[in-house]
Amino acid sequence: MARSQVKLNSFSNVTAGNTATLQLPLGRTYDQVLVGFSGITLTQIKNIRVEVNGKAIQEFKDGKELADLNKFYGRNTTATVLDFHFKQPEMKTLAEQRMFGLGTASLNRPAQSQIEADQSPAIQVVTIVMDIDGAAANPKLDAYAIQSDPSVIGSIVKVKRFPISLNAGLNEVDKIPRPASARIKAFHVITDATIEKVVTKVDNVEVTELDRVIVEKIQVGNGRSPQAGICTSDYCLEGDMKQAIPLKGIQDLRLQITAADDTATGTFATVVVEYFDTLSGI
């Protein structure tokens, strides 16, 4: 069956100071959800969450953070539409792109094993939730979707945020959750500090170790668009999902972040982690 482009139900509670909620119709697979907005800015769309059966699978500080991550991957962005990409257009093969579509169908037969039951649970509800800043002038939200054939939920992209603080010089981050079911697609360090270098170490082996200026040149050469205020370590630059860092069996995973000498003590930062995982994972 052909992919469909549909207008979705209305958001509820789209008023300043409230939490707006969009409930997605179940059955088909969501490649992309597009949210048109007016009377509100990206930074006034706050605490964005995509939830499946009440569990947050993706979370963003605000609309700007989501838009900036889309821009990094070279995805089409506009000033009045916020995009949720479940299908991963930067993957090289169509099969890999579609692998991460958000399936909302349920198994039409009993699960054959506990593993299958855990990885493809019955879907009860899928929602997109966002807080509307109290200063929003006249907020309006409209939602649309690109859908493909029905499928159960399988591998999905999870986006998780972890706050940290930075000082001048070397900073180590070693409390990153590493569920055995997952792979890490990318780290994004978001901060006002100037980041000079991010080293990824897996069981004491350096996976990435180059200065930021060189890393970003390599990223541009692979179709990425580095964003101001975000230092990204992207492990799938060639569009190959198998290059994501597998977490099964890993004993130690850490980032070594070098901040500029003028970084104030305790400067706030957020590590945003993109995982390839199943719903039952992190």
Is there a shared CATH topology between the 4-154 domain and the 157-277 domain?
A: yes
Average pLDDT over residues 14-37: 98
pLDDT-derived band at 3 (thresholds 50, 70, 90) equals: confident
The reported pLDDT for the residue numbered 258 is: 98
What percent of the chain clears pLDDT 90, i.e. is strictly above it? 91
First to last CA, the chain: 33
Q: Are 105 and 152 in contact (CB under 8 A)?
A: yes
The string of pLDDT tens digits covering residues 187-211 is 999 999 999 999 999 999 999 889 9
The reported pLDDT for the residue numbered 105 is: 94
In three-state form (DSSP H/G/I as H, E/B as E, the rest C), the secondary structure along 107-158 is CCCCCCCHHHHHHCCCCCCEEEEEEECCCCCCCEEEEEEEEECCCECCCEEE
Q: Is 60 exceeded by the pLDDT of residue 234?
A: yes
Domain boundaries, the chain: 4-154, 157-277
**How far apart are alpha carbons 238 and 217 in whole angstroms?**
14
Note the pTM of the prediction, 2 decimals: 0.94
Q: How many CA atoms lie within 13 A of 163 on its CB side?
A: 4
Average pLDDT over residues 82-102: 96
Q: Are 121 and 53 in contact (CB under 8 A)?
A: yes
The reported pLDDT for the residue numbered 121 is: 78
- Name residue 218's beta-bridge partners: none
Topology given in CATH for the domain delimited by 157-277: Jelly Rolls (2.60.120)
Residue 242 has what DSSP assignment?
A: G
Average pLDDT over residues 222-238: 97
Q: Is 90 exceeded by the pLDDT of residue 212?
A: yes
What is the residue whose two structure tokens read 């029905």?
150
Q: Is 70 exceeded by the pLDDT of residue 18?
A: yes
The string of pLDDT tens digits covering residues 100-136 is 999 999 865 555 455 555 566 789 999 999 999 999 9
CATH class of 4-154: mainly beta
